[in-house]
Amino acid sequence: MATSDQAQFAPNSAAARDIAYYLHPYTNIKAHEESGPLIINSGKGVFVYDDQGKEYIEGMAGLWCTSLGYGEERLAKAAYDQLLKMSYTQGFTHRSNETAIDLAEKLISIAPKGMSKVFFTNSGSEANDTQIKIVWYYNNAIGRPNKKKIIGRKRAYHGITLAASSLTGVEYAQKGFDVPLERFLHVSSAHYWRDGEDGESEEEYTDRLAEELNQLIISEGADTVAAFIAEPVMGAGGAIPPPKSYFPKIQTVLKNHDVLFIADEVITGFCRTGNMFATETYNLDPDLISVAKALSSAYLPIGAVMMKDEIYQGLRSGGDKFGMWNTGYTYSGHPASAAVALETLKIYEEREILDHVRSVMPKFRERLMSFAEHPLVGDVRNVGLIGGIELSPDKKNKGVFDPNEKVAPYFVSRAHEYGLILRAAPSDVIAFCPPLIISEKEINLVMDRAEKALDDTWNHVQKKGLV
């Protein structure tokens, strides 16, 4: 029976059936019943099309993931061919398949220096959840049973499983779910524009953050702190690149206290920041790396954990205490997902996607940074093909809007009207993360439509007396 909210949609329409049967992730349930879904049914290149035939340019590569855009026939064929040949085989108890083996070998060959082994998952959330189990198992195996606490950062996003959401540092991902769990701690994010104190230089700011981490480890006891996890560039927390000196100082603190460093490259991996990995962009030296999203250009679900040999040897030694390495997923190393990921990596190389990204980065940055002059924009930030504009009612004093006014969501709704898909992040940030294949002409299209949405939002907040 249709509810009163469903009644506004045509009987048996996709929208009515969506409301009747589909509980959406990250969606306001009551609002969804009233407004219904945006139904995207097809895509080609950097464009997608809704069920009414309206065209949108995908300014967020889906959810930071569709790096090669839509309708890539090589990826569809890779999945088809693999499914016909071998649709599934497990990776448990010594079973394997050549496609997963080829992918593991390829990943290690292009990975940042020091990575030794690959463990496959089905998503970034699962990758980071697995990181927790690896760290805990590793310390149990090498005789450090008390070294279990993991430090994340405020504003960070590391996934949404029960454990991964405990690593995450955004309130909206935790409210109502009784997380974070015990053993998870959080320090400040590296957002100098927002959190730097009056008169504090960027260098002084990063000194303060490094000392905050140092003091937390000391107060908790270094023998109880196992790992620190960070996105090289914060994604869902607001598209926030780190200050130049931040990670060198953080890594020094971690090494001084023998705390493992996990780099969450779920968003930044595979060309996004102008290098194959953001670990290279920021000269990081992690013990473990999480990847997903652009690993398969989101054509099939897959994620992975890469680790240094020291970590692998610790896991290996655990067999003497615990028997088998008893963790994994039914679809770990799924042959079809592995085939698509392997083909994705081939396309990156054959089409010189990294060189293309580097060639269009200046235009992306130029157009994005031009928004800094707009009266509604407090801060603009960018690295590679990821960026954010932070809206503010008072840029001089770094003012913030009342979250209940939903200023950034209003911007996103106006962008939709102009045929552009972007994403609102906390603190009224508008995130940009287009497919890596985007051209300069298409970048101009993104920015032209974003400019119209920005002007509309400025008029909106003026009329409401919010500025």
Q: What's the domain count of the chain?
A: 2
CB 191 within 8 A of CB 155: yes
Sequence-separated (6 or more) residues with CB below 8 Å from residue 169: 152, 153, 154, 155, 156, 157, 186, 189, 237
CA distance 454 to 343: 38
Same domain (yes/no): 67, 79:
no
- Same domain membership, residue 85 and residue 199: yes
Residues 385 and 336 in one domain: no
Assess if residue 333 is contained within a domain.
Answer: yes
End-of-domain residue from the set 350, 376, 394:
350
Provide mean pLDDT across the span 426-454: 97
Check whether 4 has a pLDDT greater than 50: no
Confidence of residue 8 (pLDDT cuts 50, 70, 90): confident
Domain span at residue 371 reads: 38-71+353-463
Mean pLDDT score, 178-195: 96
Token pair 């004093």 is at which residue? 397
CATH code of the domain in which 301 resides: 3.40.640.10
d(CA 149, CA 19): 41
Determine contact, residues 400/416, Cβ cutoff 8 Å: no
The per-residue pLDDT for range 324-370, each reduced to its tens digit, is 999 999 999 999 999 999 999 999 999 999 999 999 999 999 999 99
**Cβ 114 vs Cβ 285: under 8 Å:** yes
Quick check: is 24 in a domain? no
Is residue 177 located within the same domain as residue 118? yes
The answer on 200 and 87 residing in a single domain is yes
Specify if 6 maps to a domain.
Answer: no
pLDDT value for 7: 54
Residues 387-420 have pLDDT tens digits of 999 999 999 999 999 999 999 999 999 999 999 9
**336 and 450 housed in the same domain:** no
Position 459 scores a pLDDT of: 98
| pLDDT value at 10 more than 50 | yes
Token readout for 459 is 């008029």
Same domain, 173 and 321: yes
Q: 119 to each of 24, 27, 99, 303, how far by Cα in Å?
A: 29, 31, 14, 9
pLDDT in tens, 141-175: 999 999 999 999 999 999 999 999 999 999 999 99
Query: In terms of domains, do 237 and 255 share one?
Result: yes
Provide the β-strand partners of residue 390. 379, 429
Provide the pLDDT for residue 341: 98
**Where does 189-302 show beta strands of DSSP type E?**
225-230, 260-264, 288-291
Q: What is the pLDDT of residues 278-321, one digit of tens each?
A: 999 999 999 999 999 999 999 999 999 999 999 999 999 999 99
The per-residue pLDDT for range 22-40, each reduced to its tens digit, is 999 999 999 999 999 999 9
Q: Decide: residue 325, CB within 10 A, 0-12 exposed, 13-18 middle, 19+ buried.
A: middle
pLDDT tens-digit series, residues 50-60: 999 999 999 99
Q: Which CATH number covers residue 389?
A: 3.90.1150.10
3-state secondary structure 161-188: CCCHHHHCCCHHHCCCCCCCCCCEEEEC
List phi, psi (to 5°) of 394. Answer: -155, 85
Residue 271 identity: C
Put residue 238 in one of left, alpha, beta given phi > 0 → left and psi -120 to 50 → alpha.
left
Residues 114, 45 share a domain: no
Cα 91 from Cα 29, distance rounded (Å): 38
302 occurs within a structural domain: yes
- Domain assignment present for residue 361? The answer is yes
From CA 337, how far away is CA 300, in angstroms rounded? 5
**pLDDT tens sequence across 246-271:** 999 999 999 999 999 999 999 999 99
- Is 360 within 8 Å of 443 (Cβ atoms)? yes
- Determine, yes or no, domain membership for 203: yes
Verify that 261 and 401 share a domain, yes or no.
no
Instruction: Name the one residue in this structure whose structure tokens are 């032209």.
Output: 448
Among 350, 368, 397, the domain boundary falls at: 350
- Domain end point (choices 331, 350, 369): 350
Most distant pair of Cα atoms in the chain: their distance: 69
Asked whether residue 30 is domain-assigned, the answer is no
Give the pLDDT confidence of 70-124 residue by residue, as tens digits: 999 999 999 999 999 999 999 999 999 999 999 999 999 999 999 999 999 999 9
Specify if 455 maps to a domain. Answer: yes
**pLDDT tens digits for 271-284?**
999 999 999 999 99
Instruction: State the DSSP code for 395.
Output: G
Clarify whether residues 338 and 420 are in a common domain: no
Question: And the tokens for 338?
Answer: 């592995």
- The answer to whether residues 315 and 366 belong to one domain is no
